[in-house]
Structure 1
Amino acid sequence: MTETPDQSDTSNGPSRRLGRPFWFLWSGMSLSNLGDGVALIALPWVTSQLYPDPLAVSAVAAAGRLPWLVFSLPVGVMLDRVSRLTVLQLANYTRIGLWALIAVLLLTGHATLPVLVVVAFTMGATEVLFDTGAEAYLPTVVHRDGLATGYGHLRASEIVAGDFAGRPIGGALLGFGMAVPFAVTALSTSVIAGLLAYLRRVAPSDRPDRTGTVERSHVLADLAAGLGMVWRERVLRTLAEASVLISVLFGGMLGIQVLYAQVVLGTDAFALAVLLTVSAGGAVVGSQLAGRVLVGARVAPGLLGCLVCFAASTAGLGFTGHYWLAVVLFAVAAGAVAFFNVGVLALRQDATPEEFRGRVGSVFRLLQWGLSAVGMLLGGAAAQVAEAYWDESTALRLPFLVAGVAYGAYLLLFGFRLYRDTARHHGQTQRPTDERSD
């Protein structure tokens, strides 16, 4: 059997030390996230310039998220059955071709709306493959004692490269022409191919063990078992319900965010990049704050409080037209969502048996990422319909007002149940820390 980092000699240093193969993987992930950040601002902006109506912009945004809805569960099963590094390489080669293609189509004037939708969907599919595959591949290049540190570095690179670096770079590159961000990203993505080829040479093989317990005939049964676990466990079901609502409502806001910034706030591409970057900062603060606040008996009130912040900030965005106030409110909303997601992750990990964690995690990724695509389409459609009755600025505020009111209503009707179930789970699972799985 091929040696893995879990079995390898660690005499050269502590087992937590991250070796050269990890840093090549981290570099590839960082460049990939940088491209995602550029695309997150460039593709919606290009769409808004070529097809300036809410439904078109939200359709492209939703197409980029839809693969999380369609592929999250099957990709989770597939990665247990094939070489994860091969999946990373195929996803990366596809990205290079797509970035180059969209740049050429923009230069030649052939970037129609259907083409933009297909490109966004395909890029989203490669994101599901690459990001999920990289996380699953990490134990191949990192000793088990270093996994927490390794995952922490990957998460940090996702935020720093994708949000803090990628979005401003994308906004700046748009100033040189609509095709420039895509051409530059195609070149940077080509570097990832070299990094992955190096990993192929020096890292242990990650070919799946065909003699293991995973059988191809059990794929559907495995998926059903994961869904059943979420439904049977009360705390998981309650968290799933709250996740669905926040995903759809937040997606409805994100789907028209570019047009909202242009029409309501009067921003240009760079000002939009600043808004998105500050929002990402809010998400970082929210995720870090969650680790400090969501401890012991503070878990239930902490989750309830972050949802109150989300409802208030989204409603505020529906009323304001002031740029800097909107920047602050977007940061609060993003921070509340990040805070909530960290809390959900911690609770579901604690409530889920070890043998179900992969599948239950895929279910929640589907709910938190996939259903945001539905929200984006609904947000764009709502704004489109509203334009028949009100001016464009008022119509673009509607999804934000709906989000604030809807979550306020959820808290009034079901907030006690969320509090009760999370507090009850905490009360039932009091045991020494070293008995819990991370």
Structure 2
Amino acid sequence: MAAGLGKRFWFLWSSSTVANLGDGMRLVALPLLAYSVSDNPVDITLVAVFASLPGLLLGPLAGVAVDRFDRRRVIAIANALRTIPILVFACLVHAGKIELSYIYALAILLPVFEVFVDSAAPPLMSELLPEHLLEKGNSRIFIARMVSQDVLGSPVAGFLIGVSASLPFFVNGATFAGATILILLLRGPAPSPGPGAGVAAGTRTQKARSGISVIGRDLKEGFAAIWHTPLLRAITLTSAVLNFVLLAGSALLVVYAKEDLGLGDEQYALLFTSAAVGSALGGWAAPHIVARLGTSPTMVWALVAIGASRAGFGLAQGFWSALASFFAIGIATFVYNVAVASYLQRVTPNSLIGRVYATSQAASYGAAVIAALTAGGLTQVTSVRSIMLIGGLAAVGCGIACWWTTSRGGMADGPAKEQAPVPAGRSADSPAEK
């Protein structure tokens, strides 16, 4: 069924999957290690805050690099570089030198390289696949990420850390090394530029430009591309709001599950299992839904479904209703993510796609930082159940805002109307687009 994606895509898929398996282990092991040093909630929360900062602060700059250099090499170098700190940290843990300062350093250093990987992978995939296979390719990448991180990585980390506190980090280093090798195996002739990528083919073969003013101009082009394209602007703002309301609730999830719903440990774990199953189903269905409805209607209905499901979770009275809500959230979230990623790859000129993607992600990282910092404070003014309900209503509001924004411009009513290119902005050494 997926044979049409091609051998080169599967090298990218394999590299991403292996790296995400290691990420899933570290994302579980690092907070557990921090908890063994300090049970202060603020100390634990800072791990998540530090992990989000590089994406917020460096995302747009990473996008500039991704648009200038070979995306395959950017991914390979970033994966190779993040192998070093994780192995050094593993050695420190193995030697019994476990300190919060080391944990914070790793939490902030690894995402510095990760933001380059995450910014380069979508543009690279748009080079490897024809337009009609973008949804299919994104669904395979997203499903593999979810399975490797949440279904496999999390329980494996729990087992490994029971054997040795350093073992998950040694294995994580090995996965980064493996991901580096796999992406370097992605060889072959350069793909033909897609629609709107004419500037990219010329720009990336020119000698690298230098100077702060040129970097500033590149950043400005990325911001302008988002701002002057209604659906991309709606995607960026909506994703940031959605990230905030969902992550604020997620930070308090264990409190809500234990105190409001009265769930046991096994029932709490099953919530994530149901979300994973729903995500896999949503990832499989997303290409078919987008093909039938178009990107904008798919986004709107997915956002409404996310909001209704989160509100339903806020109204849940027991295990089964909470389980059903998490299942529905998994489906709707993956449909939304596949539709958004594929639209961005389809309409953005190849010379801009790294900056557009990284800038959009930076907004979401900023929302994650705010959510991590404010989640605890929100419980001082309202209940956790209310936070879940408000988050659901906010997601529905995002869907309505997205519909209003795109319907005014008459954009993306169906697949045939999704080909309008993002305005690339004219640079001094680039030809004007016709």
Same fold (TM over 0.5): yes
Look up the match of 1:97. 84
Look up the match of 1:230. 226
Shift of 1:122: 1.7
- Structure 1 residues 29 and 331: CA distance shift in structure 2, 3 A: same
Unaligned ranges ≥5, structure 1: 1-14, 390-394
Contact 2:24 2:148 in 1 (8 A): yes
Shift of 1:314: 3.1
**Residue type of the alignment partner of 1:130:** V
SS at match of 2:67: coil
- Structure 1 residues 283 and 117: CA distance shift in structure 2, 3 A: farther
- Give the counterpart of 2:393 among 395, 402, 408: 408
Q: Percent identity over the alignment?
A: 25
- Structure 1 residues 195 and 274: CA distance shift in structure 2, 3 A: same
Q: Does 1:418 align with 2:402?
A: yes
- Identify the range of structure 1 (374-383 vs 300-309) with the bigger mean alpha-carbon deviation: 300-309
- Structure 1 residues 176 and 211: CA distance shift in structure 2, 3 A: closer
Contact 1:24 1:196 in 2 (8 A): yes
Look up the match of 1:379. 375
- Give the counterpart of 1:310 among 302, 306, 309: 306
Contact 1:236 1:351 in 2 (8 A): no
How far, CA to CA, are the matches of 1:95 and 1:159 in structure 2? 21
- Give the counterpart of 2:361 among 351, 359, 365: 365
| TM norm structure 1 | 0.74
- Identify the range of structure 1 (271-280 vs 360-369) with the bigger mean alpha-carbon deviation: 271-280
Unaligned ranges ≥5, structure 2: 192-200, 423-434
Provide the alpha-carbon RMSD of the alignment.
4.3
Look up the match of 2:6. 18
Contact 1:18 1:150 in 2 (8 A): no
Shift of 1:59: 2.0
Look up the match of 1:338. 334
- Structure 1 residues 408 and 355: CA distance shift in structure 2, 3 A: same
Shift of 1:62: 2.8
How far, CA to CA, are the matches of 1:196 and 1:354 in structure 2? 20
Matches within 5 A, 1:28-427: 28-137=15-124, 142=128, 148=134, 153-195=140-182, 211-212=205-206, 215-217=209-211, 218-257=214-253, 274-294=270-290, 303-318=299-314, 322=318, 325-345=321-341, 356-383=352-379, 386=380, 398=384, 401-408=386-393, 411=396, 416-426=400-410
How far, CA to CA, are the matches of 1:35 and 1:271 in structure 2? 26
Query: Over residues 46-96 of structure 1, what are the superposed CA-to-partner deviations in whole Å (9 max), with x where a residue is unaligned?
Result: 334443344333321232233222222111110233344443343223333
Contact 1:312 1:404 in 2 (8 A): no
- Structure 1 residues 95 and 254: CA distance shift in structure 2, 3 A: farther
**Residue type of the alignment partner of 1:18:** G
How far, CA to CA, are the matches of 1:343 and 1:138 in structure 2? 15
How far, CA to CA, are the matches of 2:328 and 2:416 in structure 1? 34
Shift of 1:98: 3.0
**Residue type of the alignment partner of 2:390:** V
Look up the match of 2:196. none
Q: How many residues align?
A: 407
Look up the match of 1:3. none
- Structure 1 residues 150 and 342: CA distance shift in structure 2, 3 A: closer
SS at match of 1:220: helix
Shift of 1:258: 5.8
Shift of 1:35: 0.6
SS at match of 1:80: helix
- Structure 1 residues 113 and 404: CA distance shift in structure 2, 3 A: farther
Contact 1:296 1:426 in 2 (8 A): no
SS at match of 2:69: coil
- Structure 1 residues 240 and 131: CA distance shift in structure 2, 3 A: closer
Query: Over residues 24-55 of structure 1, what are the superposed CA-to-partner deviations in whole Å (9 max), with x where a residue is unaligned?
Result: 44433221011112122222333344433443
**Residue type of the alignment partner of 1:101:** V
Contact 1:314 1:401 in 2 (8 A): no
